[in-house]
């Protein structure tokens, strides 16, 4: 799922880079600046063959609980909103809270469902294959070692 963006400022030329990534930032931690092509380490990225998967990425319960919590919060906000509307107050904050809770609640529910149905495992298998392919390149492995990664 390419639903997140990673942003960083290049340490060499100070250009702001923006890249699509999945929610848990699986990918090479060696990033290249789009402007000046300099390389550096960004530990936020997970090289899954070394770092492993983010434990949350397989935890359907975590997201199901999150979804339940957010949706009940949305209902509470909705009820409060109704009450204030009855009294003639139109609360922008409550409307916003209600909309955001519903939105994040639905997204969490969707993620939980994906994990339950095994789509997340399929994604993970793809990321693992990509990661292993990168680690098959000895130049790349040397670079990672230089950056302090412990490989075998």
Chain residues that interact with Zn ion, rule: CB under 5 A: 10, 12-13, 15, 33, 35-36
**Angle (nearest 5°) at CA 26 between 22 and 29:** 125
Q: Which is nearer to Zn ion, 8 or 140 (CB)?
A: 8
Asked whether the beta carbons of 25 and 44 are under 8 A apart, the reply is yes
Residues 6+ apart with CB under 8 A from 152: none
Q: What's the closest the beta carbon of residue 9 comes to Zn ion, in angstroms? A: 9
Q: Which is nearer to Zn ion, 4 or 15 (CB)?
A: 15
Q: Which is nearer to Zn ion, 2 or 7 (CB)?
A: 7
Q: Which is nearer to Zn ion, 10 or 30 (CB)?
A: 10
Which residue has tokens 């848990």?
24
Q: What's the closest the beta carbon of residue 47 comes to Zn ion, in angstroms? A: 22
Q: What's the closest the beta carbon of residue 19 comes to Zn ion, in angstroms? A: 13
Residues 6+ apart with CB under 8 A from 147: 29, 30, 41
Q: What's the closest the beta carbon of residue 31 comes to Zn ion, in angstroms? A: 10
Residues 6+ apart with CB under 8 A from 3: 22, 23
9 pairs with which residues across the strands? 16
Q: Which is nearer to Zn ion, 12 or 142 (CB)?
A: 12
Q: What's the closest the beta carbon of residue 6 comes to Zn ion, in angstroms? A: 15
């Amino acid at each position: 799922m390419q639903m997140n963006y990673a942003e960083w400022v290049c340490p060499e030329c100070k250009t702001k880079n923006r890249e699509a990534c999945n929610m848990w930032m699986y990918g090479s931690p060696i990033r290249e600046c789009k402007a000046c092509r300099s390389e550096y380490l960004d530990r936020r990225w997970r090289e899954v063959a070394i770092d492993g998967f983010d434990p949350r990425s397989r935890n359907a319960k975590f997201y199901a609980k999150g979804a339940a919590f957010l949706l009940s919060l949305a209902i509470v906000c909705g009820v409060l909103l109704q009450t204030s509307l009855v009294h003639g107050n139109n609360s922008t904050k409550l409307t916003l809270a209600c909309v955001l809770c519903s939105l994040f609640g639905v997204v969490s529910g969707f993620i939980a469902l994906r994990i339950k149905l095994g789509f997340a495992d399929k994604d993970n298998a793809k990321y693992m294959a990509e990661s292993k392919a990168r680690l098959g390149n000895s130049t790349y492995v040397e670079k990672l070692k230089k950056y302090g990664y412990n490989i075998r």
